[in-house]
């Protein structure tokens, strides 16, 4: 019985560590920058096929939109959590 409890506790601790890393990844600047670069390259390539002139400059616009959305989400999330907490009280 003791051995089973220790295994379960170890499994829970390992899961908690994975969850913490996942949370850290979600808010990391590395993730944000990686998405920004991928977005820019994909949009630039698509725009190059549609209209080649200025496509690499025009591709910056969705990247700014992405950055603005990531910067605005924490306050929106905090507002949502506050509202939900009041509703559940």
28 phi and psi, to 5 degrees?
-80, 150
Q: What is the pLDDT of residues 13-64, one digit of tens each?
A: 999 999 998 888 888 888 888 989 999 999 999 989 888 888 888 899 998 8
43: Cβ contacts below 8 Å, ≥ 6 apart: 58, 59, 62, 63
Residue 28 DSSP class: -
Using pLDDT thresholds of 50, 70 and 90, give the confidence band for residue 2: low
Mean pLDDT of 80-88: 84
Using pLDDT thresholds of 50, 70 and 90, give the confidence band for residue 10: very high
60 phi and psi, to 5 degrees?
-70, -30
Q: What is the pLDDT of residue 1?
A: 58
């Amino acid at each position: 019985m003791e051995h089973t409890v220790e295994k379960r506790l170890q499994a829970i601790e390992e899961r908690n560590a994975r969850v913490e890393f996942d949370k850290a990844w979600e808010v990391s600047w590395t993730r944000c920058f990686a998405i920004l670069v991928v977005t820019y390259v994909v949009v630039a390539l698509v725009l190059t096929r549609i209209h080649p002139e200025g496509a690499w400059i025009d591709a910056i616009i969705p990247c700014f939109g992405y950055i603005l959305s990531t910067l605005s989400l924490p306050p929106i999330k905090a507002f949502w959590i506050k509202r939900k907490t009041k509703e559940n009280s």
